[in-house]
Amino acid sequence: MNRISHSIEVVLFRSRFLLAPLYLGLVGALLLLTYRFLIEFYHLALHIGEATPQSFTLDLLALLDLTLLANLILMVIFAGYENFVSRIDVATESKDRPHW
């Protein structure tokens, strides 16, 4: 029984690497989101003169939503990868790493 239990634990522990492609997919989603943000910002800048205060505020809120979503994606990538897959060694060597 101990041998079977150990084998199951090894498989479960090593299965954490199945998450790595998902985090890479989230990096791709972050790139797409950045592209979408730039498109929205461009349209906002083009039509700034004809926008009502209400529509301008809504457009700014849409940009804010995209920014908050990008931050959430980045937090999920870093926290998930560090907690479940592997430590990010590049971050410890970086000079511009946040001190938190």
Tell me the per-residue pLDDT of 16-72, one tens digit each, with 9 for 90 and over: 889 999 999 999 999 999 999 999 999 999 999 999 999 999 999 999 999 999 999
How many whole angstroms separate alpha carbon 92 and alpha carbon 4? 38
What global pTM score does this model have? 0.80
Q: Where are the domains of the chain?
A: 17-92
How many whole angstroms separate alpha carbon 8 and alpha carbon 14? 10
pLDDT 10s digits, 65-92: 999 999 999 999 999 998 888 888 876 7
Are 63 and 71 within 8 A, CB to CB?
no
